[in-house]
Chain A
Amino acid sequence: MSPLTPTDSNVLTVSHLNVYAGDHHILRDINLEIPSNRITVLLGPSGCGKTTLLKCMNKLTDLYKELKVSGNIYIGNDDILNTTHNIPAIRQKMGLLSQRPYPLPVSIYKNVAYGLKIKGIRDRKLIDFSVEKHLREVGLWDEVKNRLNAPATSLSIGQQQRLCLARGLAVKPAIILADEPTSALDPISSKIIEHLFREMKRHYTIVLVTHVLRQAIRLADHVIFMCDGRIVEQGSPSDLFSHPQSDELRAYLIDGN
C-alpha cells in the first residue's frame, strides 16, 4: 500500500502509523483515510489494536508513557501526531465516546457546560442555550429537563452514554470517535445510540470501533477490518462483507453470524 496524502473529502488521514509498547508491536504500519460525513467502522476481534488506533487520533496516547508512537496523522494538512502545539484545540476537534460512560462527578447541566467553560465562555444565556440544544440533539432533554442539577451519576447507563455524547458535541467537534459505545448498554439504549449516529453523520464524521459484526453491517459506510495490529482489508461494506478477500475476515464473518 502506498503512503497516503491528505485530500479534501477525507477528514483524517493516517499514514505509516506504528505503535510499540516495549517489545510488543501493537499497531503495524497503519495507513487509512476517514471519509467526511460517513460512519467509518473499525472492525476486528478484541485486542487487535482498534482502541489504540482511536486513541492515537485523539493524542490520548500521550498519557501512556510506555507507548512509542511513530508515523503521521493529518487533519487537513496539519500533522497532529508530531506536534506539541495547542493539543487541547486538536482534541476539541474530536468528541470521544468511550466503552462505558464516564460522566464527570458534577451535575447533568455542568457536564454539558464543561467544554464551554473550558473554552472560557461565561455568558450564562449562551451556555443555557447550548446545554439545551445538545441535550435535545441526543434526545435526552425531555428526560432530564426537570433535574438538570441532579448528579449525572443518577442517570441510567444508557442516559449517561447519551449525556457523554451531548457533552462531546457541545465543544463542536468535526469528528466523533466512538469506542464500542454500546457495549455496556441494554439493547434499547444501543438502538438509540445507533439511530443517533445515523442522524449525526449529516453534520459529523464518525469513527466507530466495534467488534459486533451486526452493528458494523447496520451502520458502516466504510469498513476497516483489523487483526493483530494490522489492517487486513478496507473498503465499502458491500464489497467487504459479500466478497471477503482474506482468511481472517472470512473466519470473522462466519463466527460473527
Chain B
Amino acid sequence: MLLKRILADKANGLWMITSLVTILALPLVIGTGLYLKASPLFDQQSFFSLVFSADWAPSEGRFGFRPYITGSLYVTLLSFLFTLPVCLLSAIYLTQFSSQWLIRTMHPVIDVLAGLPSVIYGVWGVLIVVPLVAGNIAPAFGTSSAGYSILSGGIVLAIMCIPYILNMLIEVFRTVPAGLIEASLSMGATRWESVKHVVIRGNYPGIISAYGLGIAKAFGETIAVMMVVGNVVKVSGNPFDAAYPLPALIANNYGEMLSIPMYDSALMFAAFLLLIIILIFNMIFRYLIHKTRKQ
C-alpha cells in the first residue's frame, strides 16, 4: 500500500516536471525553428538591411521589412491609445462607483466580446469602421482616405482588445479593499482623489501587466486587422494611409508565390521578427512592473 502511494507520488512529480519543461522549451523550439528556416536569407542580405530597408522587391531578391514593421507598430500604437482611457475609466467605474447589478450585467457581455472570433470583428470593421473613416473621419480632418487604413486597423484592434484588457483590470481593481478607500475618504479625500491615489497608484504593476498582455496580443492579431488595413507595402506616418502589418504578410502569402526564390525564407523571417518584437514588448513590460513594484 505504502509502495503504491510512493510510486504514485513519484510518477506525478515526474509528470509535472515533464509538462513544465515542455512548456518552457516551446518558445525556444519555435524560435530556433523559425531562425533556421529563415537563415538562407542571411547569406544574401544582412540582418540590419532586412530590418531597416524599405525596399521590398521579392522577385528581384530584395527584402526590406521596414514597411511591415512600422505598419504593425503603428496600428498597435493607435489601438493602445484608444484602449488606454476607455478600459481604465470603465474598470474604475465598474469596480468603484457602479452598483453590483451593473457589474453583474457587464460580466457576461465582456465575456461574449472576448470570445467572439476575430473574423467577426474584421467583417464588422469592413462594414462599419472602413466607411466611417472614409466618409466621416478623414473628411473631418480635411483629407481623403479609402477607409482601408492604419486608423481603421487601430480602431478595430482597440475594440478587440477592450474586453480582454477590461477583464484583467476589473480583476486587479477588485482586490482593492473597501477599507482602504474608506480610510482615504475619512481623511477628507474626495471620491476621485481616493480612486487616484489608492486604486490607480496602488496598482501600477497590475495595470501595466494588463496592458502589456493586451498589447502583445494586439501586435500579433492577424485576420481582423488584415481585413481593414489595406495591405499596401509602404512606410507612412499618415494614419489615413494603408499599411501592411507583419502577420498579414505571412497570412496572405504563405503557401502561395513560393516559386519566387527565398520567399519562403522571407516569410519565416517575418514570423521570427514577430516573435522577437513580442519578446521585446514583454521584456519592457516586465521591467516596468518590476520598477513600479519596488516603490
- Spell out A's residues near B (CB within 8 Å): 55, 58, 60, 63, 65, 88-89, 91-92, 94-96, 98-100, 102, 104-106, 114-115, 118-119, 151, 164, 167-168, 170-171, 177
Contact = CB atoms under 8 A, between A and B. Distances in A.
Interface stretch (B6-14, B53-61, B104-112, B194-202): B194-202
B197 A104 contact: yes
Given A88-B188, A118-B193, A105 B202 contact: yes
Interface in B237-295: 295
Contact of B185 (A60, A65, A100, A151): A60
B190 interface: yes
Given A88-B190, A89-B188, A171-B187, 11 more contacts: A63-B181, A63-B185, A91-B185, A98-B182, A98-B183, A100-B179, A104-B180, A106-B295, A114-B184, A115-B187, A115-B188
A177 B181 CA distance: 16
Interface of B: 99, 177-190, 193, 197-198, 201-203, 295
Contacts of A88: 185, 188-190
A106 B295 CA distance: 7
Given A100-B179, A102-B179, A151-B295, A95 B186 contact: yes
A236 B183 CA distance: 30
Given A65-B99, A105-B198, A105-B202, A96 B180 contact: no
16 contacts: A55-B182, A60-B182, A60-B185, A63-B178, A63-B185, A96-B183, A98-B182, A99-B179, A102-B182, A105-B201, A106-B197, A118-B187, A118-B193, A119-B188, A167-B183, A168-B187
Contact of A102 (B177, B201, B203, B295): B177
B189 A102 contact: no
Q: Interface SS of chain B: helix, strand, loop or mixed?
A: helix
A181 to B, nearest CB: 12
Contacts of B180: 102, 104-105
A167 B187 contact: yes
A98 B188 contact: no
A169 to B, nearest CB: 10
A171 B183 CA distance: 12
Which of A63, A94, A151: most chain B Cβ within 10 A? A63
Which 8 pairs from chain A and chain B are nearest by CB?
A: A105-B202, A92-B188, A96-B186, A115-B187, A102-B179, A88-B188, A102-B180, A102-B183
A91 B186 contact: yes
Contact of A58 (B179, B186, B198, B202): B186
Contacts of B186: 58, 60, 91, 94-96, 168, 177
Nearest to B176: A105
B188 A104 contact: no
A105 B186 CA distance: 16
